[in-house]
Amino acid sequence: MDRIWTKNYPKNVPLEISSNKYHSLLDLFYATTNLFREKTAFRNLNSSLTFGEIEKYSERFASYLQKDLGVQKNTKIAIMLPNLMTYPVSLFGSFIAGATVININPLFKTRELLDVLVNSEAEIIIVLDKFYGELEPIIKKTKIKNVIVCSLTDLLSPLMKFVVKSVLFFKGERFNSNQKIIKFNNTIKKFKGTERYLLKESDIAFLQYTGGTTGKSKAAVLTHGNILSNIEQVHVWIKDYVNEGKEIILTALPLYHIFSLTVNFLTFFKLGSENLLITNPRDIKNFVKTIRKNKFTVMTGVNTLFNLLITNSKFREINFSNFKFTVGGGMAVLKDTASKWKKITGTNITQGYGLTETSPVIAINIVKDEYNGYIGLPVPSTDVSVRGDDEKELEVGKEGELCVKGPQVMTKYWNSEEETRNAFTEDGYFKTGDIAVMNKKGFIKIVDRKKDMIISSGFNVYPNEIEDYVTSHPDILEAGVIGIEDKNRGESIKLFIVSTNPNLEKGEVISFCKKGLTIYKIPKFVEFITELPKNNVGKILRRKLREL
C-alpha cells in the first residue's frame, strides 16, 4: 500500500527513522545516565533515585547476577514486580549481565505463572514478597534456580523505609518462606565487577508474553533493535512537544505491560525525564494525593483509568497548568471520556495503537489534534496493509485485516513455529487480527476484531483460557465466554455456564474464578443456560452467545 499517510505527517516528523544510534538498550542506558547523572530519574513512595544512582545500583545488581549466580549472556531472568524503583534496577541490571528479560504480571495466579516460567525456561525470578506465595508451590516444576525477593521498602529513603515498615507491621504483613531465597537488598551492597557483553540489535531483549488464540501462553521475541526502533519512532513523533531533561511523566500503567514499558519507561528515560511511578493506581485516594503533590507534564493511560480519575472530585480540583498532553492506548478511548478529560485537564487524549508483537506502537494521532475516533497515522518506517481473507490488499476505504511491517515488529513467537507461521503473510506482514479501515488521509480506524480476543481494561483476555479453567470446576460441564461493551473497561467478561448441579450459584463461580484467574480475567457476569450454541464440529458459536 502506498504510504499516503506520510503526506499528513506533522512538519518535523521524518518519513523514516534513522538507523539505530545505539546497538542495544544498554548503550542507550549508559548514554542517558552519563548525560543526566545528577537529575532525578524515578520517584516513588516519596523517595527518589537519580540517573547516576540507577546506574550504580544496576551495576551492583548485575555484578551479583554474574559473580554470585553465574548469569551469562542470554540467561533468562523473569521480573515479577509492580511499579517500584526495584523494577528499573532489575531490568537494567539484567541487561548489563547479558540476560534476556521476561516480564510477568505480578497478579498472576500459580497456574498462569507456571505456564510462563515453563515456556520461557527462566532460571532466575525477581518477585515482590507480597506475591511470592503464588510462586513458591511451583518452583520445583520449573527451571528456576534462584529467587530474588524484593520488599516495598527496597531503595526507599531512610524515612520512608521506617514509615512503610511500620504500616506493614501494623497491617500484620509478614514474609516467610520455606525455600532458599535471596533478598534484593543483599544483591546491591557492593560492586564486584562485571563481564561486559557486547549486545547487538539482533540479541533478544524481551520474551514479552501475550495471550494466544488457543489460550496458551506465547511470547513475542522482541530484540534490542525492535525496542530501540519503537523508542525512536515514538520520540520523533512527540519531540516537538517535549524538552529533554525537563519532563515529568506520570506512570500509573504497569511497567511489565509493553505500552508502559516502551513509552513511559524507555522512551522517557532516553529523554532524561523524571518518572513518577504509581505502585497501586486502584488506591484512588492515594493516587490522586500523589498527583496533587507532583507537577507532571505528560501521562499515559487507558480508558478505564481516565474514567476513574474524571469521576474523582479531588482530581477535578488539581491545577493542570504544567500538563502538556495525554497518550491513550491499550484499548479504545471513548469520545465521551476524551471530551470530559479535555474539559477537566485541558489536554487532548492522543490515541495510539499497538500490539505486544510490535513493541508496541504502530500508529499514533497527531498530538495537537482533537479526539477523532481514529488510532492515528502509521509511525515512520512502518508499512501497513489492509487485507481480505485471501491476504490480498484492499482499496483505501475498504474494511479488512490490518497487517503491518516495520523495524519494531517481532522476529517470531518463542518456541512456536506454527504460531509464527500463522502470524505473518507470505510477503512478511504481521497480521494484527484487527479489522480496520483507512481513510484517504491515511488515518486508521479499528472497526472490529477478527479474533475472539476481549480487551478488558487494556489487557488482552482470551475466552478459551477462561473456559478451560472454569470447566475444571466439578459442577460445570461447559462454558462459553464473550466480551460485552462496558463504558469503563472497554469490555466486560460474560460467562455462560452449563452446570450439572442445579444448586450452583453465581457467587460460587466467581469465587472459583478468583482462585485461578488474574483479576482482569474474572467474569463480571455469569449466566446459566441449558446448552451452548455450537457448529457442526462442536465449536462454540460466540456470535450466538452475543445474540443471547
Q: What are the boundaries of each domain within the chain?
A: 25-36+50-199, 454-547
pLDDT of residue 225: 98
Closest by CA to 498, choosing from 526, 521, 520, 522, is 526
Q: Could you tell me what percentage of the chain is helix, strand and coil, using 3-state DSSP and rounding each to the nearest 5?
A: 35, 25, 40
pLDDT of residue 213: 42
Q: 126-143 burial, b if ≥16 CB within 10 A, otherwise e?
A: bbbbbbbebbbebbeebe
The pTM for the full model equals: 0.90
Rounded CA-CA distance 324/341 in Å is 13
> Domain 454-547 - what CATH class?
alpha beta
The CATH classification of domain 25-36+50-199, taken from the options 3.30.930.10, 3.40.50.980, 2.60.34.10, 3.90.700.10: 3.40.50.980
Rounded CA-CA distance 333/12 in Å is 26
DSSP state of 532: -
Rounded CA-CA distance 521/515 in Å is 11
Rounded CA-CA distance 386/396 in Å is 8
Rounded CA-CA distance 381/385 in Å is 14
Burial zone of 216 (CB within 10 Å; 0-12 exposed, 13-18 middle, 19+ buried): middle
What is the full per-residue pLDDT of the chain (548 aa) written as tens digits?
A: 899 999 999 999 999 999 878 999 999 999 999 999 999 999 999 999 999 999 999 999 999 999 999 999 999 999 999 999 999 999 999 999 999 999 999 999 999 999 999 999 999 999 999 999 999 999 999 999 999 999 999 999 999 999 999 998 888 887 877 789 999 999 999 999 999 889 999 999 999 998 544 456 799 999 999 999 999 999 999 999 999 999 999 999 999 999 999 999 999 999 999 999 999 998 999 999 999 999 999 999 998 899 889 999 999 999 999 999 999 988 788 888 999 999 999 999 999 999 999 999 999 999 999 999 999 999 999 999 999 989 999 999 999 999 999 999 999 999 999 999 999 999 999 999 998 999 999 999 998 777 788 988 888 888 888 998 998 999 998 899 999 988 888 899 999 999 999 999 999 999 999 999 999 999 999 999 999 998 655 567 888 898 88
Q: Which is it for strands 274-277 and 40-44: parallel, antiparallel or unpaired?
A: parallel
pLDDT of residue 334: 83
Looking from the CA of 361 toward its CB, the CA atoms found within 13 Å total 34
Grid coordinates standing for 184? 534484593
- Asked whether 135 and 129 are in contact (CB, 8 A), the reply is no
pLDDT of residue 360: 97
User: How far is Cα of residue 340 from the mean position of the Cα atoms in its chain?
Assistant: 25
